[in-house]
Chains A and B, each alone.
Chain A
C-alpha cells in the first residue's frame, strides 16, 4: 500500500453566481457520501478544507507576504490523504469527487517514501492515533 494525497483546486461555490442554499446542501451531501465511501473501504486517512483567503507566502530571509496567489480556481482549497496500491486506483477514487460539479480539479500525488513499509508503518500509526 502507498500513500496518496489529493489536492483540491477550485471547485468553490463562492465563485459561482447565484448558487442556492438547496444546491449547497445537495453538494455537501455528495462530498459527505464520497468521504463516507472512502472510509467504508478503509482507504481514507484524513483531510481538511483550507481557508482560501488570507493565506501568506513566506520566502527566503523570513519575508512574509500576502501572495501572490494564483486565481481562486487555482488555489488549493483542501486536501485528502488515502492509501491504495497504485496510482491508477488513486485516480479512480479521485474520479468520484464531487468537485467537478463546480469547475474544480483534483491533483493526485503519490507520497514519496524510500520503501512502502515506511508508509505502511506511518499509516498504521495514523490509524492507531485516530
Chain B
C-alpha cells in the first residue's frame, strides 16, 4: 500500500556519471544478463542445482570482465557471454559423473557437444523470455515467507549479490544468506515444476507472483531506506519483471493493473524530495517534475487492465494513483472519485494503511475533524501504533483543525518513530508550522 502522504522515492531515468566512457554497455548489463543466464541454465541443470547454475554464470561473467577490461566490449556482448556460459556448462557436465541428475533440457546441451546449433536454439530470445517467466513463477511461491520471497527474487530474478540484498533490505548478510538458503531448499522440492503454470493452476500462482512484485516495488517506494539509488533500483526491477510478465499470454488484467500502479507511482519518484533531500507532501510537489512519459504509459496499462470481470486491489490502487497524476493541481484533485475508490478498496482488501489514506481523503472533502473521526473509528488503525505516518497524519489534521498542542505532540511522536532522515526533516518543518500558527 502506497501512502497518500507521499513518503516516497522514482525510477525511470537513471544517469551514470561516467556514461561517456561506458556507452558500450547498457546500465545493469551484467546484472540482467546474469538473471537471464541463471533462468536459462536452470532448464539445463534443474531447480535443485541452482548453486551450480549460479557458479557457472558467475564464472562466465568474470571471464567477460577479465577480457573486456583490456579489449573493450565486443560487438555482441550478449552472444559472447552466452557462448562462454554454454561452454562452461558443457565443461561441468563433462567433468561430473553421468550419474548426476539434471533438468529435462540437459539433452539440448549435450547435443551441443558435437555441434553448436542445437544449444543456440535455447539461446533464442523467445526461449530466454520463457525461461525467465518460468523462474519468476518458481521464485514467487506462496509457501515462502514474504521476506524470503523478496530476497530470493532479488538474488535469482534480479542478479543481486547477498551484500547488495542486505543493503537494500537493511538486514544482515547472515540473515539474508539464511533466507536464501532455505528458499532454495524449498525450490528444490519443486524441481519437477519448472514451468509457466497453466489451466486451473495459473490464477492462483499468478496471484502469488503479483504479490511478490508488489512487495518488491513497495520495498523500494515506501521504505525508509536512506539510499535513494537503492530504492530506485528496487522499483525499476519490480517494473521490469512485471513488464516481462505482462507480455506473456499467461498475464491477466490484474498484471496490467499492477504495472500501471507501479508506473504511476514511479512517475512521481523524483518530485517527492526537495533539493536538500527533504520529503515534499503531495500538495507541495512541483507537478512539472512528474515524469510524463511514465504517466502516459501507466495510463495505457490501466486502460488495458479494464478487461475481464475481476476487480483487484491493483485496479483500485492504480485508479487512485491515476487520479492524482491527472489532477492539474492539488486543489483540483477529484477527491470524491478518490474517496469512492478508497471505499471500495478497504472493503475489498482491508488494511490499516488503506483506512488511514481513506481518512486523509475524507479530511480533504469534509474537513480535518471528519478525517480525525474517520481515523478514530477505523477498525484496524490501532495496529498501526508504531507507524510514524499515523502520528504524522494526526498531527497534520489537528494542526489544520487548530489544535496546535495536540498537533505538536503527534509530530514529536512521529519524529521519534521514523528512521528516515528526510522524513524527520519534514516533521521538524511541521513543528515549526505549529509555532508559526501559534504566533499568528
The interface of chain A, by Cβ under 8 A from chain B, is 12-14, 18-25, 27-29, 31-33, 35-36, 47-49, 77-78, 80
Contact = CB atoms under 8 A, between A and B. Distances in A.
Contact of B28 (A12, A22, A80): A22
Interface of B: 18, 21-22, 25, 28-31, 33-34, 59, 61-62, 64-70, 72, 159-164
The secondary-structure label for the interface of chain A is helix
Given A20-B163, A20-B164, A32 B30 contact: no
B164 A33 contact: no
B31 A22 contact: yes
B70 A25 contact: no
A36 to B, nearest CB: 6
A24 B65 contact: yes
B31 A28 contact: no
11 contacts: A14-B62, A18-B161, A20-B160, A20-B164, A21-B34, A22-B28, A25-B29, A25-B30, A25-B65, A32-B21, A49-B70
A21 to B, nearest CB: 4
A34 to B, nearest CB: 9
A49 B66 CA distance: 7
Contacts of A32: 21-22, 68-69, 72
B30 to A, nearest CB: 4
A20 B61 CA distance: 10
Contacts of A21: 30-31, 33-34, 61, 159, 161
Given A20-B159, A28-B68, A36 B29 contact: no
A30 B25 CA distance: 13
The secondary-structure label for the interface of chain B is helix
Given A29-B22, A32-B72, A78-B66, 8 more contacts: A12-B66, A20-B31, A20-B159, A21-B34, A29-B18, A32-B21, A32-B22, A48-B70
Contacts of A78: 66, 70
B21 A25 contact: no
A25 B69 contact: no
A22 B164 CA distance: 9
A22 B69 contact: no
Contacts of A35: 69-70
A33 B186 CA distance: 43
Nearest to B165: A20
A47 B71 CA distance: 9
B157 to A, nearest CB: 13
A20 B159 CA distance: 7
B39 to A, nearest CB: 14
A22 B22 contact: no
B18 A31 contact: no
B25 A25 contact: yes
Most buried by A among B21, B28, B34, B162: B21
Contacts of A27: 65, 69
Contact of A36 (B21, B59, B65, B159): B21
